[in-house]
């Protein structure tokens, strides 16, 4: 499993915090991290422990999000509503979980914290998600099959994996 950040988040503090969390997720959880810098707003990112690429939002949308059935099943929106509302790309700031085949299995639909989005927004936001998996990935996701978890499971109900 890989964690991919579509950068840069609109709010600079979110952007910087996202990068800090990705470093933690890499260093302490041993997960791969990478950045697709589709909208460069802030300074260059140095000493990042994963790949940094510079695709266009359109390329990312076509490759990762559009007509992605796995993703559509896991988020509450059609990808076009979440990432291309009214015909404009709205992807930067979100993060995605990518499986071994390179397919995005889940992506946040809110590029930041739940604050300001309402009480049920937490599971859909990038930073709440990253903070959870920086503490313990198995609270939120099975690192084997990318099944989303709610933190009470001792093993993954989808593939049976027991986190160490």
Residues forming the site for Zn ion (CB under 5 A): 142, 144-145, 147, 156, 158-159, 161
Closest to 109 measured CA to CA, from 90, 133, 132, 136: 90
Q: How far is the CB of 92 from Zn ion (least distance, A)?
A: 29
Q: How far is the CB of 99 from Zn ion (least distance, A)?
A: 11
β partners of residue 98: 2, 104
Q: Cis ω on the peptide bond leading into residue 8 (within 30° of 0)?
A: yes
CA dist 117 and 3 (Å) reads 23
Nearer to Zn ion (CB atom), residue 32 or residue 158: 158
Nearer to Zn ion (CB atom), residue 82 or residue 156: 156
Match 């996202």 to its residue by tokens: 18
Q: How far is the CB of 53 from Zn ion (least distance, A)?
A: 28
Nearer to Zn ion (CB atom), residue 107 or residue 142: 142
Nearer to Zn ion (CB atom), residue 139 or residue 158: 158
R_g over Cα of the chain? 15
Q: How far is the CB of 26 from Zn ion (least distance, A)?
A: 21
CA dist 44 and 19 (Å) reads 12
CA dist 35 and 7 (Å) reads 7
């Amino acid at each position: 499993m890989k964690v991919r950040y579509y950068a840069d988040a609109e709010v600079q503090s979110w952007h910087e915090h996202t990068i800090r969390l990705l470093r933690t997720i890499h260093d302490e959880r041993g997960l791969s991290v990478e950045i697709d810098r589709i909208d460069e707003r802030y300074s260059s990112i140095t000493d990042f422990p994963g790949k940094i690429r510079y695709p266009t939002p359109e390329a990312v949308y076509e490759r990762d999000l559009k007509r992605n059935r796995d993703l559509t099943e896991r988020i509450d929106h059609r990808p076009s509503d979440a990432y291309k509302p009214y015909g404009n790309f709205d992807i930067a700031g979100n993060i995605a979980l990518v499986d071994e085949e390179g397919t995005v299995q889940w992506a946040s639909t809110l590029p930041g914290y739940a604050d300001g989005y309402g009480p049920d927004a937490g599971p859909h936001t990038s930073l709440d998600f990253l903070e959870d998996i920086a503490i313990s990935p198995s609270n939120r996701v099975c690192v084997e099959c990318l099944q989303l978890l709610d933190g009470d499971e001792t093993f993954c109900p989808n593939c049976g994996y027991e986190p160490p």
